[in-house]
Structures are given as structure tokens and as C-alpha cells.
Structure 1
């Protein structure tokens, strides 16, 4: 399948396909003329790359996983733990914002819960860094 067909079928721009090839994530076959040709399973490989990126892996990490016959399960578990922690931070942030929207205080800065949310954010707890405070409840 040539690069234009791959781009059309997958929605991945040709420039991205060339970049992935340059990084070693994709391999083109001998082309006819100047057009790059890809194996029929290129869409599956692109889906794996997209999944890895959605999970927060760098392209280098995705490439390493695609090259290895044995998947680094510890790396997958560590990334899953990071995602779980990020979900918890985002849930705390959402809960704090909902409280601020419904808070009876005239000024958000006068609300103790909102002040705690600001302190946690300033301490980095809502950006994934360790904080001295507790989660917003």
C-alpha cells in the first residue's frame, strides 16, 4: 500500500508516516518509483503507536516496545500506575471546581475548600508532584 493510501485510510498524515519511518517505528518496503510502500499491516502498527502515545509513552518508548519480542511488563504497570494517579488528581480537581461553582461564599478566596485546592495546586499535588497537604474533599 503506498503512502497516500495509508494516509487516506488511517488519517495519519504522510509527513507523520515519513517521520515515524525516520524514527524506526515504521518500515517501508521497496517502492515503485519514488513513492513509499508499506505492508498491509501498517494500520495495526499505527494503531499500536497511537495507543502508546495515548497512554503517555514517548515515541522512543513505543519504538523500543515495538522492537522487543518481550514486552516490558514492569514498564506497562508503572505507566498504568501513573495514569491511575493522574486520574485521581483530575478527579480531585474536578471535585474542587464543582465545589467552587456551588459554594455559598460570595468570594471563592474566602472558601476554605477553595483555599485548600489552591494550596495543593501551588504545592504541585494537582500537577503530579508530591504535596504536604491532603486531597481536596
Structure 2
């Protein structure tokens, strides 16, 4: 059963304006029209959920478009993005360690703490 854009927006938690935007950029297939209204198939909700996950992972619209291309192009984009995500995870873990220490440190100025300085020196920021 096909649903209106309003119902799709309600069930996915994504504004109708975002759904129309993704359609204009080719990230969602153009829906059928009935009486001038967009009507979406049930699988549209899954695609929207996937688009949101990709956005949350930091993929650009171009990268999301690549994900929907043929397998070799998709795999190249995924390999590149996985490397970026892994680096972000390393950077976030290091930031977490620094903050966790700073929370417990008794020094008035955290930069005077030898342990904090040592933790900062163990990891250079990513480019």
C-alpha cells in the first residue's frame, strides 16, 4: 500500500521537505502520483532510514549517491569512508581519555598536569 509524503514523514521522523530534497537530488526514486499527490511504496521508509544513517555517519550527498551506484564505485566510496570513520573513532577515543582525566584531575590548570601532558603527547591530531 502506498502512502502520502505526510504519512511517510510521520513514520520516519523526517520532514517532508527533506524527502522532497532527496528526490530532487536523485537519492530517492520519484514516487508515483495519484491525484497530484506523491505516493510512496513501503520500501521508501527503509531507504529514508538508510539515508539518515548515512548522514549521521558523515556521508555527503555525493557519497550517498555513490552508495547507490554500481558495485565497484560503491565499494571504492565505502572503503574511503570506512577509513575516515575509523580515524574519527580513534580521535574521539583520545578526546574521551583526555576529558575523563581532566574531570578527575586536581590541578587548577589542566595544562600543568604531567599526566594530561603525557596523554596529549601520545596522540597527534589527525590532519
The TM-score normalised by the length of structure 2 is 0.80
Q: 2:91 aligns with which of 66, 81, 89?
A: 89
RMSD (Å) for aligned C-alpha atoms: 2.5
Q: Secondary structure at the match of 1:76?
A: helix
Structure 2: tracts of 5 or more residues without a match: none
Alignment of 1:61-80 (within 5 A): 61-66=63-68, 68-70=69-71, 72-80=74-82
Offset at residue 117 of structure 1 (A): 6.2
Q: 2:32 aligns with which of 30, 33, 47?
A: 30
Q: 1:27 to 1:75 in 2, by over 3 A?
A: closer
Of residues 97-106 and 82-91 in structure 1, the stretch that sits farther from structure 2 once superposed is 97-106
Which residue pairs with 1:104 in the alignment?
A: 106
Matched-pair contact (CA < 8 Å) for 2:4–2:37: yes
Q: 1:106 to 1:7 in 2, by over 3 A?
A: closer
Stretches of 4+ moved more than 4 A in 1? Answer: 115-121
Q: 2:44 aligns with which of 32, 42, 45?
A: 42
Q: 1:106 to 1:56 in 2, by over 3 A?
A: closer
Q: Deviations over 1:11-44 (max 9, x none)?
A: 1111111111111111233312232122221012
Q: 1:31 to 1:102 in 2, by over 3 A?
A: same
Offset at residue 120 of structure 1 (A): 8.7
The TM-score normalised by the length of structure 1 is 0.75
Q: In the aligned structure 1, how far is the partner of 2:122 from the partner of 2:40?
A: 49
Matched-pair contact (CA < 8 Å) for 2:66–2:77: no
